[in-house]
Amino acid sequence: MRLEDLTLIKPAPTPGDTSWFTHDRFGMFIHWGLYALGARHEWVKSHERIPTEVYDKYFRHFDPDLYDPTLWADAAKDAGMKYFVITTKHHEGFCLWDSAYTDYKSTNTPYGRDILTPMVDAFRSRGLRTGFYHSLLDWHHPDYTVDNCHPMRDNADYIAGDKDRDLNRYVEYLHNQTEELLKRYDPVDIIWFDFSVGASDRFPGKGKEVWHSEELIRKIRSINPNIMIDDRLQIDQDVKTPEQYMPDGWYTVNGVPVVWEGCHTFSGSWGYYRDEQSWKSVDQLLKMLIDSVSMGGNLLLNVGPTGRGEFDERAYKRLRGIGKWMKRHSRSIYGCTQAPLEFECPRDCRYTYNPETKRLYLHMYSWPFGKIRLTGEVAEHVDYIQILSDASEMRFSYNAENRTVDIPLPVYKPLGADIPVLEIFLK
Ligand code: FHN
């Protein structure tokens, strides 16, 4: 078969512009709010059923004196990340920008300043695209009614107060703040809403009807037609967002491949969690990135900054480790996607493929002894092979009868490449 006749999966068209997104592949998620002071998960208010009047201790003590978003932006850029998504407001309802619609914002804390603007400026100045995570849930707003996730879901007196709460007044607030953010920080590249709540026998759910999702999407697109919108308004738009698991293949909706992005934490928490120890290794994190791209997807990797406004050393260490690999291997990530379906991938390896440059990337999760063999259709198209990290040639032999390519391997894998990659030039 000719190279151009091979089967390449392409995602369904999207309303917004996803061309940059499916090229850039790798972004930084940032979960930061008052919960960083609790330092035991961003859901601490819900997990511990903390009433707002008690939770306000974190508001009164929020003073991230070491906050310097240029350090965050440098860390993201050096790790090879091309966009960032910041929690403008998480479920606790606290706003990182000087919103005209609430007093529950960073400018009214002891810190006294707008958090969001210098962050957007810092990341944009380093060439990263801007994403806003915005919580649909709001455990602080007086008109937000009780549901299965609400901190007061076991408080009968609070639940009784729902009769005086006007959820539509909260939804108007949600729409107003969305417009405020998109107009003030225009052009925002991604708006990442989170999430619609299921119903139970105790409480009704909150989904697209409650959020007035269709109307909200229309408003958003009237401000920025090219913006990407996620799927958690319960109306699929530009990107599907599998969370904390790795799909088995290209993510599909009704059997149709779509633009998708897996979102993951370094550890067991999105928000800063001082005592949580399940931190993934650099090797695991790199393989999550490679796996995602090998299936045509993106990886959004989360950092939860501390109450002093810093990334903690555990996060910096992993970002540096990822950046060390990306420095020499980002060619196998940016502009790449799933390889043609006709290409069989060797054991313990992952392919990614750049259809523009016609280069195939073989990521070797293990280093076999003696040689590695490419079989079938791919063997017909090999023109030249090099180790990506140092551009050192890898000689090979082609057997037309068996349709195989054998690549002799040195006993030791190349230095400086935790996960070696062969760059295969196709013809
Ligand atoms: O409840 C949130 C959670 O705190 C976090 O923000 C993740 C990130 O995608 N989304 C929700 C859980 O699915």
pLDDT at 417 over 90: no
Portions of the chain given CATH number 3.20.20.80: 11-332
The correct CATH number of 11-332 out of 3.40.50.150, 3.20.20.80, 3.30.499.10, 3.40.50.720 is 3.20.20.80
- Give dist(CA 326, CA 78) in Å, integer: 9
CATH architecture of 349-426: Sandwich (2.60)
Atom of ligand 1 nearest to the CA of 195: 11
Rg, Å, the chain Cα set: 24
pLDDT at 240 over 90: yes
- Give dist(CA 201, CA 186) in Å, integer: 42
pLDDT in tens, 60-79: 999 999 999 999 999 999 99
pLDDT in tens, 246-288: 999 999 999 999 999 999 999 999 999 999 999 999 999 999 9
Portions of the chain given CATH number 2.60.40.1180: 349-426
Whole-number pLDDT of residue 416: 66
pLDDT in tens, 354-410: 999 999 999 999 999 999 999 999 999 999 999 999 999 999 999 999 999 999 999
- Across the range 199-224, mean pLDDT stands at 98
Q: Residue 230: CB within 6 Å of ligand 1?
A: no
Q: Residue 195: CB within 6 Å of ligand 1?
A: yes
- Give dist(CA 70, CA 73) in Å, integer: 5
Q: Residue 243: CB within 6 Å of ligand 1?
A: yes
- Across the range 148-175, mean pLDDT stands at 98
Residue type, 212: H
Q: What is the largest CA-CA distance in the chain?
A: 79
**Cα 91 to ligand 1 centre (Å):** 9
Q: Residue 260: CB within 6 Å of ligand 1?
A: no
